[in-house]
Amino acid sequence: MPLNRTIRWRPLASGGLEHLRLSDWGHVIKARGNLIGEDAGRQFALSYEINLTPDWTFETAVIQTDSGVMLILSRDRDGAWYQSSTGLPELAGCVDIDLSGSPFTNTLPVRRISDWVIGEPRRLEMAYIDLPDLGVRRDVQIYTRLSDTLFRYESGDGDFAAEIAFDPDGLVLDYPPLFTRS
């Protein structure tokens, strides 16, 4: 069944809000959102559109800040990454993106990977997008399924871990100490 939802999250440590409209068009899943946040005392706002294949594999993202800075990021079917038309070979092997101020992008690996085993950690290479600067870099993340709706997230360097609760559609409900559904 196609997934068409509107979701909102709020950060727990600072002011802000994310509003997401998720639309499954059969041949593409579109995530359109607006995010208002704060990073190290700097307030920012941005809009994004992320396109995914029907199996939740990342294809493209267009992100634009309120100051007009824009990032166009894409991954082709062969796994090559591009920023606008410039190749990003340093992202080879990455499949998903992680938009740093958004709990939505935690959904991508949870939905895309169909053979999760409870208690078995999965090491994933992500294209990590820093907010508000829109810098892109490789990031290692470890996800472990704890139950049907609960995953443990760990940063690859071991400096952060959290248990993330997901709803039955695989969308974040609660991500302490960072976000909660509004």
75: CB partners within 8 A, 6+ apart: 58, 59, 60, 81, 82, 91, 94, 95, 127
pLDDT digits (tens, 9 = 90+) for 3-29: 899 999 999 988 899 999 999 999 999
Question: Is a pLDDT exceeding 90 seen at residue 114?
Answer: yes
- Domain span holding position 35: 5-181
CA distance 94 to 130: 16
Question: Is a pLDDT exceeding 70 seen at residue 49?
Answer: yes
Region 73-93: what's the mean pLDDT?
Answer: 96
Mean per-residue pLDDT of the chain: 96
pLDDT digits (tens, 9 = 90+) for 117-135: 999 999 999 999 999 999 9
Q: What percent of the chain has pLDDT over 90?
A: 93
Whole-model pTM above 0.85?
yes
pLDDT digits (tens, 9 = 90+) for 132-176: 999 999 999 999 999 999 999 999 999 999 999 999 999 999 999
**Count of domains for the chain:** 1
Question: Is a pLDDT exceeding 90 seen at residue 68?
Answer: yes
Q: What percent of the chain has pLDDT over 70?
A: 99
Task: Kindly state the helix (H) or strand (E) to which residue 16 belongs, with its residue range.
Answer: none
Res 15: pLDDT: 87
Res 41: pLDDT: 84
Core vs surface per residue 143-179: b (16+ CB within 10 A) or e: bbbeeeeebebbeeeeeeebebbbeeebbbbbbeebb
Question: Is a pLDDT exceeding 90 seen at residue 1?
Answer: no
